[in-house]
């Protein structure tokens, strides 16, 4: 009997030696996306799982809807160690790591299975590996969805309908150049200012995935929704390097594991929400139209010089791998 107890005690001691070590931490996790949108839901899933698996030692407080500031401001807070985590449109990292700009190339990422494999594989690693030099760490790629154009002037049914529209553009030179090439007047604004800008007619329109349009109540200040499907928005889950460097190996492993696990649920939530919310926006009174394939082809041709301009600034090896991964063959 004593022998058996000794063996059990030895086994227990052995198992405890492999138990993860978690210290007490409180993580502020920020986003400009409103509560109820796919990114915010992903943040809540992440917080719940981290709390459970750390035995309550690591608490994640979520701050959606830009309550901690705009994306640029929060990113700076991550780098300075004031805020610990955020999720942001990955392509907008262009302003910090040029190669990320390729993720915002319009009309390229149409097959989500291929995009998932690309971001979860070598291409995603090539991008994330460049972040520590900018005082940031990337944990996983989630998604915001496919962007469509709304405005208050007219339905966009052909390329010429875009000309003259004052469009709120994301704070990225690539987007400014794309909308300028199409004849629009792009105005860069933080997402937190978009609703007011639409309501006061500072801008005529904006572009975002349907779930974000509905959650942000843009339908209350916008009449037309044109399904341009021009951009796919992967979101990167970022953690500030100052905070990351103070974590032990078990804590780093837990946060990475949960962020990667949640990516599968979060992407599925996003994709299921898209068609459902388009129907809800139509029911709520928006005039919804789809662009004909030949018009999409004309727009693609028009913005081709912009794509070529930014592709020339990106690591040629990365460009080749991305184009191969998504089966894109520019003519």
pLDDT above 70: percentage of residues in the chain: 94
Q: Is the pLDDT of residue 259 over 80?
A: yes
Q: What is the CATH number of the domain that holds 144?
A: 3.40.190.170
Q: How far apart are CA 143 and CA 134, in angstroms?
A: 22
- Domain range holding 117? 22-325
Q: Is the pLDDT of residue 3 over 50?
A: no
Query: 292-314, pLDDT tens digit by residue?
Result: 999 999 999 999 999 999 999 99
Is 238 contained in some domain?
A: yes
Q: How far apart are CA 193 and CA 213, in angstroms?
A: 14
The pLDDT of residue 8: 45
Q: Is the pLDDT of residue 76 over 90?
A: yes
Is 2 contained in some domain?
A: no
Which is nearest to 150 in space by CA: 213, 197, 193, 211? Answer: 213
Is 211 contained in some domain?
A: yes
CB-based contacts of 119: which residues, under 8 Å, 6+ apart?
A: 141, 234
The pLDDT of residue 329: 85
Q: How far apart are CA 88 and CA 42, in angstroms?
A: 12
**Average pLDDT, stretch 219-241?**
97
The pLDDT of residue 101: 94
The pLDDT of residue 13: 37
Query: 20-40, pLDDT tens digit by residue?
Result: 899 999 999 999 999 999 999
Burial of 218 (0-12, 13-18, 19+ CB in 10 A): buried
Backbone torsion region of residue 111, taken as left when φ is above 0, otherwise alpha when ψ lies between -120 and 50, otherwise beta? beta
Is 14 contained in some domain?
A: no
Average pLDDT of the chain is 93
Q: Pairing between strand 85-89 and 25-30?
A: parallel
Residue with tokens 């719940």: 48
**Average pLDDT, stretch 181-204?**
96
Q: How far apart are CA 324 and CA 13, in angstroms?
A: 51
Domain total of the chain: 1
**Average pLDDT, stretch 271-286?**
94
The pLDDT of residue 275: 86
Is 6 contained in some domain?
A: no
The pLDDT of residue 148: 97
Q: Is the pLDDT of residue 152 over 90?
A: yes
Q: Which band of pLDDT confidence, cut at 50, 70 and 90, is reported for residue 14?
A: very low
Is 12 contained in some domain?
A: no
Residue with tokens 């009174």: 285
Contact status, residue 145 vs residue 273, Cβ threshold 8 Å: yes
The pLDDT of residue 246: 97
Strand partners, 88: 236
The pTM of this model reads 0.88
Q: How far apart are CA 165 and CA 202, in angstroms?
A: 11
Contact status, residue 123 vs residue 324, Cβ threshold 8 Å: no
**Average pLDDT, stretch 253-279?**
95
The pLDDT of residue 12: 41
Is 156 contained in some domain?
A: yes
Q: Which band of pLDDT confidence, cut at 50, 70 and 90, is reported for residue 9?
A: very low
Question: Does 19 or 268 have the greater pLDDT score?
Answer: 268
Q: Is the pLDDT of residue 5 over 90?
A: no
Strand partners, 45: none
CB-based contacts of 17: which residues, under 8 Å, 6+ apart?
A: none
The pLDDT of residue 7: 43
């Amino acid at each position: 009997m004593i022998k058996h107890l000794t063996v059990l005690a030895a086994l227990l001691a052995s198992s405890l030696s492999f138990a993860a070590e978690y210290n007490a931490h409180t993580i502020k996790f920020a986003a400009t996306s409103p509560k109820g949108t796919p990114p915010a839901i992903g943040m809540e899933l992440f917080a719940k799982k981290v709390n459970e698996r750390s035995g309550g030692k690591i608490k994640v407080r979520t701050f959606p809807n830009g309550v901690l500031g705009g994306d640029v401001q929060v990113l700076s807070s991550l780098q300075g160690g004031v805020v610990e985590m955020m999720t942001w449109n990955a392509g907008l990292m262009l302003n910090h790591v040029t190669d990320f700009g390729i993720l915002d190339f319009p009309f390229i990422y149409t097959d989500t299975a291929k995009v998932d494999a690309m971001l979860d594989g070598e291409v995603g690693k090539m991008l994330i590996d460049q972040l520590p030099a900018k005082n940031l760490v990337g944990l996983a790629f989630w998604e915001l969805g496919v962007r469509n154009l709304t405005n208050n002037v007219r339905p966009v049914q052909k390329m010429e309908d875009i000309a003259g529209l004052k469009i709120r553009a994301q704070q990225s030179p690539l987007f400014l150049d794309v909308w300028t090439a199409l004849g629009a007047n792009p105005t860069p604004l933080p997402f937190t200012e978009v609703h007011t800008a639409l309501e006061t007619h500072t801008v005529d329109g904006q572009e975002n995935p349907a779930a974000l349009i509905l959650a942000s109540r843009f339908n209350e200040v916008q009449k037309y929704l044109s399904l341009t499907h021009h951009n796919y928005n992967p979101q990167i889950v970022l953690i500030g390097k100052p905070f990351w460097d103070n974590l032990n190996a078990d804590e780093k492993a837990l946060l990475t594991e949960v962020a990667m696990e949640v990516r599968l649920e979060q992407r599925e939530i996003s994709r299921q929400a898209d068609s459902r919310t388009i129907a809800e926006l139509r029911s709520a009174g928006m005039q919804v139209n789809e662009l004909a394939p030949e018009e999409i082809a004309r727009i693609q041709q028009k913005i081709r010089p912009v794509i070529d301009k930014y592709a020339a600034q990106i690591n040629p090896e990365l460009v080749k791998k991305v184009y191969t991964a998504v089966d894109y063959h520019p003519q």
